[in-house]
Structure 1
Amino acid sequence: MSTELKKPSLAYSLFLLIMVISIIAIGMLVFQASIQIMLFITLLTIIPFVMKLGYSYQRLEMEIFTSMQKALQPSIILLAVGILIGSWIASGTVPALIYYGIQSISPKFFLVTTLLFCSIVSLATGSSWATLGTAGIAMMGVGQSLGIPVGVTAGAIISGAYFGDKLSPLSDSTNLSSAVVGADLMTHIKHMLWSTTPAYIITAIIFTIMGLKYGQHSANSGDVAALTGYLSENFHLGIIPFIPVAILFALLISKQPAITSIFIGALAGAVTAILYQGVAISDIFTIFYDGYSVESGIEEVNTLLQRGGLTSMLSLVALFLFALGVGGLLQKSGVLEVMIKALTSRIKSQGMLVFFTIITAYFTLAMGGAFSFSAVMTGTLMKPLYDKFNLSPENLSRIIEDTATQSCSLVPWTASGLFTAAALGVSPFIYVPFCFLAMLTPIFSLIFGITGFTMKEKRSGGGTSHPADILVS
């Protein structure tokens, strides 16, 4: 005889959420424990509390594994990127990008140049991950050599990468956001320009001002000379090391699968390393697994080049698995749904609708551990309310992108947060304060929701469109 499943009350749901947050926060802040072990402990701790709702252990175990399966593809991508980074250092690709970047970019305009460069790459490829794993790695190296704080450089990279990602018709997040609410893709992209454009301009101004400040205190010229001297003496530079970059971009732009594209890019780097840099074939396999290793006697060189390898991503894969396990339990038990419905029941105005949409997107992103989860949950739960307020679906899809897409790399346990930290070699706690685009865009969304400006209404039979619709058409 099967046990009847109970729907959690609001009080019980709130209790479970507070317990999850408390266990992780106390472990990390008080005992300096790793987030991986705290998530694993949290996962095991909440199982009996979910079982009180009528679930058997076997069913919960199945739900945990089902949720963790979502981590398989991004985890393999993470491992492939680890291999790619090591391969591209050995091939001279990363050293060449760093060397020529130092030679050509003015320290005063480095940050805004980084923002623009990463924006262009992301628009062309439709992938923030591809941008972070290629242009991002190179610009981190250049920034470090110029004495720019790593968090600031990472903030410029991430802002550019996600600006291009959300506005590119090639992007998975852009297509998913429009599809889940039933909005036309290009209409959705045009509608995002209202909130994204002013936020991007302000972000560019901020990075320009910060660049002028840091450009005056750039690294000692002797340190830069030592770094560039080592790179030119120990690597064959020139145009050949850029071949792996061209191959990877060509594959991504032609919409080839990310996993195979990244690994082919890594293989291209390996071939370049063997034929152009003189690396032994046996060393390539070591680099694939453990990453590139160097003992140059120069701290800057060791910091920049001792990176990559499959093993560098294993702790992040564990983090992703445990985070999805916890999120899966909270979703399956109905805890998330109860919390969201409790919030949405209080919506009485258009401004409040937009505010709660923003909160819902952030909440589901944090609890679900993935943009796709946040987009689907937010779109599904909030769309009936937008219909009730006679608002076009692109209003909702814009808010999903302004929040979940742009902030997914700011949450340490999401797929994007894990990937960003791994690719750039910087903790989210260091780069989050400088991700200005992700902070500014939702503010414009909220202002538009309160004022009604750009909030398109649904077209009726003989009616006219919203004035904002005319302006962007």
Structure 2
Amino acid sequence: MKNEEKQSNPYALIPFGIFIILFLGSGILTGDFYQMPVLVALFAAILVALGMNRKTKFQTKVMQLAAGGGHPNIILMVVIFLLAGAFASVADGAGSVESTVNLGLSFLPPNLLIVGLFVIGCFISISMGTSTGTIVALAPIGLGIAQQTDIGVALAMGAIVSGAMFGDNLSFISDTTIAAVRTQGTEMKDKFKANFFIVLPAAVITAVIFAFMTSGASANVNASAPYTIIQVLPYLGVLIFALAGANVLLVLMGGTVFAGMVGLFLGNFGFAEYITLIGTGFTNMQELAMIAILLGGLVELIKQNGGIESLLQAVTKRIKTKKGGEAGIAGLVGAVNFATANNTISIITAGPLAKQISETYAIDNRRSASLLDIFSSSVQGIIPYGAQLLAVAGVAGISPVAIVPFCIYPILLTVSGMLAIIFQFPRNAVNRE
């Protein structure tokens, strides 16, 4: 059987460039990032990708598009979007969002609410292993906090994204961490130890920065905000079961059912309206689901045309030393993540080459797995066309670009990762045992 060699073609990245220019460029030129709908920009890029590579039949390219959109990670992401949307919709109808916000206002001063939101996001995401599920579940809470205080909506959403990306990078059940350890041939606990001491300073400094940014915050209500404990229980239940390590799909389905029971018990809605709220939650996530599917298809077309391979070769061709090898792994997965907008897929794509680099330059497998996860998560948390920022922006009703400056943790994670490479720490994960 003839061995197929991967072809490198930098021109295959043109459709991705068109997508970025249409999506971000139009917003920069007009000052309105809603001027160009993401789906329109994405579809235009797909049409260009389908028109390339004349040697391949059009029907074959269409099937490649479908295969990319139907990738298991993409479909799982879509299901999480839908369930998280249903939970958020039903919880809001049951009064859980308002009560949870008011509970926070009653027990925490406004200047600590954003720090608290960040910390809760860290715990939920590290327990559930999904940043997107965490974001969609917490976004209504963050929006409520912003509405009842003088804290900006973009800042509140940035805190949620920051907490979500912390757990996505460290959770034992996250797709990214599983992909990182499997491609590098190491153990989850060993990768966690190598990873933890790099990301911990970034998380601590993030909390301090959020505390400083909201030090003068005040509530917009004079009296104590009313809340009902029973209405808070759905969010409390999601937190408890997430911390217990339950599967994210079970957590979100259980939360939707629990919130429905609370709403029915309190008479906030009837059974027919409960079903309607679930449908509304699904509908709210439909555009995001379509973006994820079409972006997955675009990435597959670019990959088949040699675009991803050209990225891999461009990043790795100047590696000469061990430290350069580590920087190469970081740049490799970061570049692929910018192109794919999916941190799990970027690790799966860059992982085999990262493994070769680690073997060539005697980089510990724990270290390479850690670098893959760190730099994919840091990029994923700041790209405005990624699922995380699109999801939180959709709930908040603002441009994802406005949230990027407040994604403090992903930004500091990049800095922390770069310093770890430059100064070669932590020492116990730098050299092979």
The two structures have a TM-score, normalised by structure 2, of: 0.88
Deviates more, 1:445-454 or 1:88-97: 445-454
2:361 pairs, out of 369, 383, 389, with 389
The reply to whether residue 104 of structure 1 matches residue 104 of structure 2 is no
The AA in structure 2 aligned to 1:140 is: L
Deviation at 1:95, TM superposition (A): 1.4
Q: Name the structure 2 match of 1:355.
A: 327
* Structure 2 CA distance for aligned equivalents of residues 442 and 337 of structure 1: 24
Task: Tell me how far apart the structure 1 counterparts of residues 18 and 233 of structure 2 sit (CA, whole Å).
Answer: 51
1:59 paired to 2:76? no
- Displacement of 1:354: 2.9
- In structure 1, how many angstroms separate the alpha carbons of the residues matched to 2:132 and 2:311? 31
Question: How far 1:389 moved relative to its partner?
Answer: 0.9
Distance 2:163 2:418 in 1: 22
Q: Which residue pairs with 2:78 in the alignment?
A: 75
Q: Deviations over 1:94-124 (max 9, x none)?
A: 1110111111111222332322232233334
* Map of 2:423 onto structure 1: 451
Aligned to 1:300: none
The one-letter code of the counterpart of 1:258 is V
Deviations 1:252-283 (A, max 9, x none): 45555433431332122112111113422232
Pairing 1:264–2:237 present: no
Offset at residue 340 of structure 1 (A)? 1.4
Q: Which amino acid aligns with 1:151?
A: A
Q: Which residue of structure 1 aligns with residue 193 of structure 2?
A: 190
Task: Find the aligned partners of 1:89 and 1:15 in 2 and give their Cα distance.
Answer: 42
Is residue 39–residue 322 contact of structure 1 (8 Å, CA) maintained in 2? yes
Separation in 1, partners of 2:363, 2:154: 39
1:155-174 → structure 2 map (5 Å cutoff)? 155-174=158-177
Question: How high is the TM-score relative to the length of structure 1?
Answer: 0.81
Whole-angstrom CA distance in 1 between matches of 2:353 and 2:68: 20
Shift of 1:130: 4.1
Flag the 1:139–1:22 CA change in 2: closer, same or farther, 3 A.
closer
Whether the aligned pair in 1 keeps the contact of 2:121 and 2:163 (CA below 8 Å) is yes
**Deviation at residue 246 of structure 1 after TM alignment:** 4.2
- Contact 2:311–2:332 (CA under 8 A) maintained in structure 1: no
Aligned residues: 424
What is the CA–CA distance in structure 1 between the aligned matches of 2:193 and 2:257, rounded to whole Å?
Answer: 38
Superposed, 1:38-437 pairs within 5 Å as 38-50=41-53, 52=54, 54-70=55-71, 71-212=74-215, 214-215=216-217, 218-219=218-219, 223-225=220-222, 232=226, 237-249=227-239, 251-253=241-243, 255-290=245-280, 309-423=281-395, 425-437=397-409
Q: Kindly provide the amino acid, as one letter, of the partner of residue 12 in structure 1.
A: Y
- Shift of the alpha carbon at 1:11? 5.1
**Aligned residues: CA RMSD:** 2.7
Cα distance between partner residues in 2 of 1:15 and 1:81: 34
CA spacing shift, 1:368–1:248, aligned 2, 3 Å: same
Q: CA deviation at 1:163?
A: 1.8
On the 8 A contact 1:126/1:253 being kept in 2, the answer is no
Q: 2:165, 2:381 within 8 Å by CA — same for their partners in 1?
A: no
> Structure 1 residues 407, 421: closer, same or farther in 2, change over 3 A?
farther
Match of 1:293 in 2: none
Rounded Cα–Cα distance in structure 2 between residues aligned with 1:333 and 1:435: 33
Q: CA deviation at 1:320?
A: 1.7
Partner Cα distance (2:286, 2:379) in 1: 23
Contact 1:365–1:404 under 8 Å retained in 2: yes
- CA contact under 8 A between 2:132 and 2:387: conserved in structure 1? no
Note the residue ranges of structure 2 that are not aligned, 5 or more in a row: none
Partner Cα separation in structure 2 for residue 103 and residue 433 of structure 1: 29
Change over 3 Å in CA distance of 1:420–1:338 after alignment to 2: same
Distance 2:342 2:245 in 1: 22
Call closer, same or farther: CA 1:337–1:190 in 2, change over 3 Å.
same
Cα deviation for residue 80 of structure 1 reads: 1.9
Letter in 2 for 1:263: M
Structure 1 residues 249 and 37 mapped into 2: Cα distance closer, same or farther (>3 Å)?
A: same
Residues of 2 paired with 1:416 and 1:167: CA distance? 17
C-alpha distance 137-389 of structure 1, shift in aligned 2 (>3 A)? same
Q: For residue 468 of structure 1, what is the aligned residue in structure 2? A: none
Q: Deviations over 1:165-191 (max 9, x none)?
A: 322324332222222211211111111
In 1, the alpha carbon distance for the partners of 2:233 and 2:187 equals 37
Distance 1:193 1:20, change over 3 A: same
8 A contact 2:15–2:48 mirrored in 1? no
Using the TM superposition, give the Cα deviation of residue 385 of structure 1 relative to its aligned residue in structure 2, in angstroms.
1.0
Contact 1:370 1:416 in 2 (8 A): no
| Structure 2 CA distance for aligned equivalents of residues 142 and 16 of structure 1 | 39
Q: 1:196 Cα shift? A: 0.7
AA aligned to 1:332 is: Q
Aligned AA for 1:267? V
Shift of 1:391: 1.0
Q: Distance in 2 between matches of 1:15 and 1:286?
A: 42
1:125–1:319 CA distance, 2 compared to 1 (3 A):
closer
Q: Distance in 2 between matches of 1:193 and 1:77?
A: 26
- For residues 418-441 of structure 1, what are the alpha-carbon distances to aligned partners after superposition, in whole Å with 9 as ceiling and x for unaligned? 333345555321221111221112
Q: How far off its partner does 1:249 sit?
A: 4.0
